[in-house]
Amino acid sequence: MANISLTVNGETRSGEAESRTLLVHFLRDTLRLTGTHVGCVVGRCGACTVMWNGAPVKSCMVFAVQTDGDEVVTVEGLARDKRLHPLQEAFWKKDAVECGYCTPGMLMSAYGLLSNGKTPTEAEIKKAISGNLCRCTGYGNIVAAIREAAGNFK
């Protein structure tokens, strides 16, 4: 077992994990941050996407021990002061959610895209979320929500 200490959503958190423990399981089972969803566990669906040191990654493809000393942002870290993040607000306004299972990963992939401060084109948005699968929507509302959020991103 290894002791892991990292900054999650701006707060120092720590716990023990075996060297084979995936980040998604460490976040959910050890730190009790269940917003990150477990999907395929082979990096294909994107439901487990989080920000790791400023870049979106599929947390099922990262060992928890790799993140020791690093910074991770999960979907729980988007809202501030009990207010939805502009991305969350746009997903709600644009009805960009069906069952909601893919939503945390979609939000985090979009967050990664919009973090550079630029307004992306529709093609750039589609490319950014291309690693996230949704069985319920045609992606139109998701793309529209990300476009709307780009103007209000913080």
Minimum mean pLDDT among 1-5, 52-56, 76-80, 133-137: which range?
133-137
What is the value of pTM for the model shown? Answer: 0.94
- At residue 109, the 3 state secondary structure works out as helix
pLDDT score of 26: 98
| Structure confidence at residue 3 as a pLDDT band (50, 70, 90) | very high
Among 74, 68, 80, smallest CA distance to 33 is for 74
Q: Report the distance separating Cα 12 and Cα 24, nearest Å.
A: 17
Query: Is 92 within 8 Å of 122 (Cβ atoms)?
Result: no
User: Under 8 Å CB-to-CB from 129, ≥6 apart: which residues?
Assistant: 46, 106, 109, 110, 113, 139, 142, 143, 146
**DSSP class of residue 82?**
T
**How many other CB atoms sit within 10 Å of the CB of residue 69?**
9
pLDDT class for 35, splitting at 50, 70, 90?
very high
CB of 9 within 8 A of CB of 45?
A: no
Average pLDDT over residues 55-76: 98
d(CA 75, CA 129): 15
Class of domain 86-150: mainly alpha
Question: Do residues 85 and 79 make contact, with C-beta atoms less than 8 angstroms apart?
Answer: yes
Domain ranges of the chain: 2-75, 86-150
CATH classification (class only), 2-75: alpha beta
Which helix H or strand E contains 150, and what residues bound it? helix 140-150
